Amino acid sequence: MQHLNMQNQFKLIINGQSCLGEAGELEIINPATAAIAAKCAQASIAQVNQAIEAAKQAFRSWQRSSHEERKSILNKIADGIEQHAETLAELIVLEQGKPLALAQMEVQGAIGWTRYTASLEMPVDIVEDSEQKRIERHYQPLGVVASITPWNWPLMIAVWHIMPALRAGNVVINKPSEFTPLATLKLCEIIQQEVPAGVISIVVGNGEIGEALSSHPDIAKVVFTGSTKTGQHIMSGAVKTLKHLTLELGGNDAGIVLPDADLDQIAKRIFNVAFLNAGQTCAALKRLYVHESQYDALAQKLADIANAQNVGDGMAAETTFGPVQNQLQYQKVKALIADALAQGAKALSGDQIVPEQGYFIAPTILTGLDESCRVVQEEQFGPVLPILKYRDIDDAIARANASEFGLGGSIWSSDLKAAQFYASQLQCGTAWVNTHAEIVPHAPFGGWKMSGVGAEFGMEGLLENTVGQTVHINKL
């Protein structure tokens, strides 16, 4: 971490100015050591209100900026992220825990998503163009957007929230997770260098700060990524002023392996998408259904891959698997594993030696369990994968769909036609064939059921940051 200076650099940004927090300092824990890694400014509710007032003033002129101007600014922001890529990656490892190579991928993803968003053209739909009249459908910016981001992919998800909002002509106030604010503070510092004062602000704090931001009457839209429970609370608070919402919430994604699948081809892929970011990914594969004819063989292959992982500090060159991000989540995942074992499940992996300090759990493959176990019913959001046996594919589909969540799902097979047919029966916002958790900036992503409202990415995601306006023009 020789590139980072942890002294006096993590401040809020309000109305174009770096400032200390009126609520003191927040201690940031390194999950690889469970020790304090840095301190950053913590906002007061009064500072949240200041940020909103500054954003309202900035919106008056920012909404009138041209599309070409905004596109140019987003590309300059992407250049800035690129210039600070090394620092951003190290900050992500420090606060979130993922291995450096994965943090570097997160930074590159942030650059790519920013440039893609810059490339989008805001559409004008021609509804009618006759001799008598012309009717056009335009898309106008909403105003002040509140962005509340989680701790698992702190930089990437902030980019997903902020860039489409700015591209559409909105102004943004971000509240990052209090567990992982550092990389997002740096991102907003980069953005601030390219935009007028008040167009971007960042306030750091606990749920009280998020509540003050998301419930404020002058917030036009809230975009939130996180738990379903918090999303429900935000949705309830939006009713009074009918705020626009984009909510990307929890998931308990199922994958189904058909009997014809080539296990040697898919085992490593399944492991990677189930344990991406140590399983701390909304759309990671979280339940795996395997036909009884291949159950034992695939479970053992996955266990062998799990047992070969090098669990440790993300900055160590040999590390392939990082820690759980925070103590509360660590305790939850440990409890889910213990509950499954108490009900008769068998752990085929997870007993390798891990560092004593920090929130480390080795990747754990569980077999011999059913849907009655909490580890199957609940979103684990950690390094554990329950593998369930099925005999009939229709039964497997029904069991996969028997969840309150509907974020993603996947079918694994050598028969692409059959796989696509069964994928279409999964009740989820994104269905994959022979992969999972794979996202691209040009394909919309969102959840069904309790997994969310609205969509991100692509033109659909951009237009979620606008309000439609139909213009009727009579040709005199």
Q: Which residues are catalytic?
A: 248
Q: Specify the pairing of strand 452-453 against strand 244-248.
A: antiparallel
Rounded to 5°, the CA angle 131-122-476 comes to 20
Rounded to 5°, the CA angle 115-120-124 comes to 165
User: Rounded to whole angstroms, how far apart are CA atoms 160 and 171?
Assistant: 14
Per-residue burial over 376-398, b if 16 or more Cβ lie within 10 Å, else e, is bebbbbbbbbbbbbbeebeebbe
User: Rounded to whole angstroms, how far apart are CA atoms 96 and 157?
Assistant: 13
Rounded to 10 deg, the angle between the 207-214 and 228-238 helix axes is 30
User: Rounded to whole angstroms, how far apart are CA atoms 244 and 454?
Assistant: 10
User: Rounded to whole angstroms, how far apart are CA atoms 23 and 305?
Assistant: 46
User: Rounded to whole angstroms, how far apart are CA atoms 457 and 327?
Assistant: 32
Q: Specify the pairing of strand 346-347 against strand 448-449.
A: unpaired
Chain-centroid distance, C-alpha 300? 30
